[in-house]
Amino acid sequence: MLKRILITFLLLTTAYAKFPRPLAPVSINMGGTKKLQLSSYKGKVVLFAIIATSCDHCIESLEVMKRTQKAMGPLGVQVVVAIGDPNGSYLLQPFIQRYKLTFPVGYLDQDGIQKIADVPEGKRPFVPIYMFIDRKGTVRYQFYGDEPFFKDEEKATRIILENLAK
């Protein structure tokens, strides 16, 4: 119980500076001509992650996201991932197949990443980037890969999603 309180406090003190904020209307390229708007998931709680295919931490995070989708999907949670690599369009399908991803995965260019994650110009944040979006389509929390949130990523993710899914 004490650990849960400490994690919640850590999350809140880290995240409250910039949130909540509206979700930027950025289209995620899903391959070919298909595009996805995160706003299409209104009514669900969304864990949106931006990753790099060459990032070991990002690859480890995929397993957390798989378990999260499986356990929390029935509660109205949806995991969505965007590859932020410069060659995302070429890497997308082999990446999905290699890691056997069953949730939506697309790619974003640098401009799309900056807009959707509200990254200040010139800043290059660490990946993965996790964004937690409530049922109304509002970004409630966001964490970069070098933040304390990722020290106990799976537990912290579940706590936030459980609270947003209530």
Domain limits, the chain: 2-165
For residues 110 and 86, give the distance between their C-alpha atoms in angstroms, rounded to a whole number: 8
Whether domain 2-165 has CATH 3.40.30.10: the reply is: yes
Instruction: Calculate ∠ Cα 82-40-85, nearest 5°.
Output: 10
CA-wise closest residue to 89 among 63, 64, 53: 53
pLDDT per residue of the chain (166 residues) written in tens, 0 to 9: 544 554 555 555 444 447 899 999 999 999 999 999 999 999 999 999 999 999 999 999 999 999 999 999 999 999 999 999 999 999 999 999 999 999 999 999 999 999 999 998 778 889 999 999 999 999 999 999 999 999 999 999 999 999 999 9
Give the residue among 29, 35, 103 at the shortest CA–CA distance from 73.
Answer: 103
The reported pTM is 0.90
Query: What radius of gyration, in Å, describes the C-alpha atoms of the chain?
Result: 15
The residues pairing with 50 across neighbouring beta strands, listed in sequence order, are 82, 129
